[in-house]
């Protein structure tokens, strides 16, 4: 007898049982107390400094309450491999709370891995008006709420090096406002040493190929998904035009030279933008935190991304983690107590912002009063107000992202055309979507 997993090979019940027994013997998946308080388990996905910050956030909660104790366990998570979590659900011993990335919510809901929390949210008086629109959009699937938004990640801002602008004879206070101006600035900011690149004005895919394609696809007028008919639409002409434009930089500068340039920078603190060799880049609030940590004296500014035509509305889309309650969780009401605190209370959301540096998804957090006082964070705050997009809310987001990345990479290295690659991405993702929608119903 085997348990089939939608993202990997079938796993024998014997292996599953061994994992479940190990988990239970470790003291998890059982009803117990800590410090005479009921204990609730949460799995979090971050190692390193980000994980340290989240544990500090949980400590603040545990020190402030005498009626509930949150226990944390590090459990890596990505869009395509969350086997341990699915096994815990299948075995009946999941944690009470799990972090779920925004694009995962629909898939996990379709697989019946996380609970519909609509009733808990309604009882708590929570609705879409309490959260930034795209954050709430990510957790709603087919009319139900399957998670509560935790953080808001507006994508993307354009960061530019003011000194590089001045050296190129550009106004350091005036970023490019349109794609045509971005191209012009990029050429003026790019320099060579012999046949090698010395500085680069801009690399359109440097912030992750798929996420950049979503960004420019929307800027060029694409949709990516037809919600009314469950259809993948990544081969729309507008998205093809966006990808062709992105890859024009690979043709201009030569993709091999760009790769050689990028490989010269290793550690996180050696980002070429931080050291002045990349004049403009796409970035997030995490980029801002890194610059403040690793290069606090860098002379830079940031603004919303350029638009296609003068007068167009800025394109801002939202990502961000959410908190879900796994199917089979023993005490969902207690789990929701922590979720409400960290995602919606003044104390919890302010602590989230101060400790982790992230923006809360909760619109009315006092953290935004502090953000408004910082001119650079104010840019992201203004972007939150204009955000209208999120990656397509459907249950094969990981597949879609991978296929978009594959199509772009193949076109970049001339193994396929842009049009053929995007058509293949549509066909392959549509086939998987049809299979999943059929399999889990």
DSSP string, 363-419: TT-THHHHHHTSHHHHHHHHHHHH--B-S--STTHHHHHHHHHHHHHHHHTTSS-HH
pLDDT, tens digit (0-9, with 9 covering 90-100), for 347-403: 999 999 999 999 999 999 999 999 999 999 999 999 999 999 999 999 999 999 999
Q: Tell me, yes or no, whether 391 lies in a domain.
A: no
Q: Are residues 140 and 77 in the same domain?
A: yes
CATH number at residue 406: 3.40.190.10
Q: Are residues 223 and 372 in the same domain?
A: no
Q: Are residues 219 and 355 in the same domain?
A: no
18: pLDDT strictly greater than 50: no
Lookup: tokens for 293: 């940590």
Rounded to whole angstroms, how far apart are CA atoms 174 and 301?
10
Q: Are residues 291 and 423 in the same domain?
A: yes
Mean pLDDT for 160-179 is: 97
Higher pLDDT, 33 or 62: 62
Residue with tokens 């603190």: 269
Look at the chain and report how many structural domains it folds into: 2
Rounded to whole angstroms, how far apart are CA atoms 247 and 267?
26
pLDDT of residue 441: 56
Q: Are residues 145 and 244 in the same domain?
A: no
Q: Are residues 365 and 218 in the same domain?
A: no
Residue 345's pLDDT band (cuts 50, 70, 90)? very high
Q: Are residues 143 and 289 in the same domain?
A: no
Q: Tell me, yes or no, whether 357 lies in a domain.
A: yes
Q: Tell me, yes or no, whether 217 lies in a domain.
A: yes
Q: Are residues 250 and 369 in the same domain?
A: no
- Please name the residues in contact with 8: beta carbons below 8 A apart, sequence gap of 6 or more: 81, 83
Structural domain of 297: 157-304+396-439
Helix 418-439 to helix 397-412 angle (10° resolution) is 160
Q: Tell me, yes or no, whether 310 lies in a domain.
A: no
Q: Tell me, yes or no, whether 313 lies in a domain.
A: no
Q: Are residues 148 and 163 in the same domain?
A: no
Pairing mode, if any, of strands 69-74 and 37-44? parallel
pLDDT, tens digit (0-9, with 9 covering 90-100), for 247-257: 999 999 999 99
pLDDT, tens digit (0-9, with 9 covering 90-100), for 90-147: 999 999 999 999 999 999 999 999 999 999 999 999 999 999 999 999 999 999 999 9
Q: Are residues 212 and 299 in the same domain?
A: yes
């Amino acid at each position: 007898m085997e348990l089939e997993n939608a993202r990997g090979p079938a796993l024998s019940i014997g292996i599953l049982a061994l994992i479940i027994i190990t988990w239970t013997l470790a003291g998890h998946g059982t009803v117990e107390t800590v410090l005479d308080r009921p204990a609730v388990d949460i799995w979090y996905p971050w190692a390193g400094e980000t994980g340290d910050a989240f544990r500090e956030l949980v400590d603040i909660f545990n020190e402030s309450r005498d009626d509930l104790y949150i226990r944390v366990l590090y459990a890596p998570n990505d869009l395509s491999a969350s086997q341990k979590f699915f096994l815990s659900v299948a075995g009946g011993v999941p944690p009470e709370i799990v972090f779920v990335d925004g694009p995962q919510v629909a898939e996990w809901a379709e697989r019946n891995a996380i609970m519909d929390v609509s009733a808990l949210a309604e009882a708590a008086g929570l609705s879409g008006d309490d959260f930034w629109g795209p954050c709430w959009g990510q957790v709603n699937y087919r009319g139900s709420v399957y998670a509560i938004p935790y953080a808001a990640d507006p994508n993307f801002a354009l960061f530019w090096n003011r000194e590089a602008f001045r050296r190129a004879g550009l106004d350091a206070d005036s970023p490019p406002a349109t794609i045509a101006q971005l191209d012009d600035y990029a050429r003026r900011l790019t320099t060579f040493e012999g046949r090698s690149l010395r500085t680069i004005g801009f690399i359109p895919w440097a912030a992750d190929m798929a996420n950049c394609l979503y960004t420019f696809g929307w800027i060029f007028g694409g949709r990516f998904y037809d919600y009314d008919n469950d259809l993948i639409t990544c081969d729309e002409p507008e998205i093809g035009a966006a990808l062709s434009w992105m890859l024009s930089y690979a043709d201009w500068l030569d993709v091999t030279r760009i790769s050689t340039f990028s490989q010269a920078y290793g550690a996180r603190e050696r980002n070429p933008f931080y050291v002045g060799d990349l004049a403009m880049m796409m970035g997030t609030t995490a980029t801002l935190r890194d610059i403040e940590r690793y290069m606090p004296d860098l002379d830079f500014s940031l603004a919303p991304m350029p638009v296609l035509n003068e007068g167009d509305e800025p394109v801002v889309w939202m990502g961000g983690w959410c908190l879900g309650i796994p199917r089979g969780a023993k005490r969902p009401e207690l789990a929701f107590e922590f979720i409400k605190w960290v995602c919606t209370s003044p104390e919890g959301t302010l602590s989230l912002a101060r400790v982790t540096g992230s923006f809360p998804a909760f619109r009315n957090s006092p953290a935004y009063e502090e953000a408004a006082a910082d001119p650079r964070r104010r840019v992201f705050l203004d972007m939150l107000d204009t955000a209208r997009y999120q990656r397509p809310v459907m249950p094969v987001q990981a597949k879609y992202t991978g296929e978009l990345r594959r199509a772009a990479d193949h076109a970049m290295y001339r193994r396929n055309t842009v049009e053929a690659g995007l058509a293949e991405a549509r066909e392959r993702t549509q086939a998987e979507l049809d299979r999943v929608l059929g399999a889990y119903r």
